[in-house]
Each structure stands twice: as C-alpha cells, then as structure tokens.
Amino acid sequence: VLDTSGSMAVEKELAQALGEMEDLVDRAAHNSPLGGIRIINCDAGANIPVIVSDLNDFVITGGGGTDMRIGIKAASELDDPPAGIIITMTDGFTPWPKEIPEDNEDAFYIALIIDTENLRENPRKRGWSTTGIPEWMTVIDVHTQG
C-alpha cells in the first residue's frame, strides 16, 4: 500500500518509498506466481491494485488526503493468492486501523515509515506516525535526507 497523499513529496518521500520497493519488485518478478507485486496507490481512497514487475511501468496516482485504513483494508481483501505480507509505505500522517483486518488476520503487516529530516526536526508533525500505528504491525523507520 503506497501512500500517495499530498504530504508524500514526489522528489523525497515517494522517491524513497519507490527505492525501497525496487528490490521487492525485482525479486517478485522472477519468483512470484503473480509475476510481480500488487501495489495499491492510496490517499483518501484506495485505487485498484496493479501487478507491477517493473517500477518503470508503474504510475503513481493520488495527491489528496490520507487514510491508510482504507488501503490496508483493500490489501487485506486481496485473494488469488491472498496477501501474505502487507507493507504500507507512508510518512505516517494518517489514521491507522485499530484492529487487524478480519479479511486477512494471518498476513504479516509492516508499516514502513518514510522519516524525513523535516519530520525529525519538527517532532510535533510526527505525532500520527509514532502514536497511531497498531501494535500488530511491524514498524520499519526509513531515514531520508531532507
């Protein structure tokens, strides 16, 4: 689930998220029964999942508000095969689901937080990403340069 809201600047946060995603896409293109990974662009709503085997062909859409609850729910509802690992890539400025999605309680949920230098300098802006992430999600902090 890729946060494509307005707070995820294309040159910084989205570029970092795509960089983190690159190896996953390359490996999945060769080892996944899908031939790639499913990516859901998500801002205030979740787009239809697309199977990506080459990030050069991936189109980022969005730019509005943020609600990762909707994106995580959409990812948990995937089937054929069901999502075993659900990674949410975001700057953390989003509401989070309180409960693990009923549609896929067995998935491994990861919150990859793109932590820019700007957020580290202004910890008040970081409130959602440090307090709202549910305990059933594994958190990975990715530090970027300003």
Q: What is the pLDDT of residues 109-139, one digit of tens each?
A: 999 988 765 555 554 454 444 457 888 999 8
Dig out the tokens for 56 from the structure: 């050069």
Helices (H) and strands (E) in the chain, counts: 4, 7
- Closest C-alpha to 137, from 71, 88, 95: 88
Q: Closest Cα partner for 8 from 75, 111, 89, 128?
A: 89
Per-residue pLDDT of 26-85, as tens digits, reads: 888 888 888 889 999 999 999 999 999 999 989 999 888 889 999 999 999 998 777 789
Give the integer Cα–Cα distance in Å for 41 and 48: 8
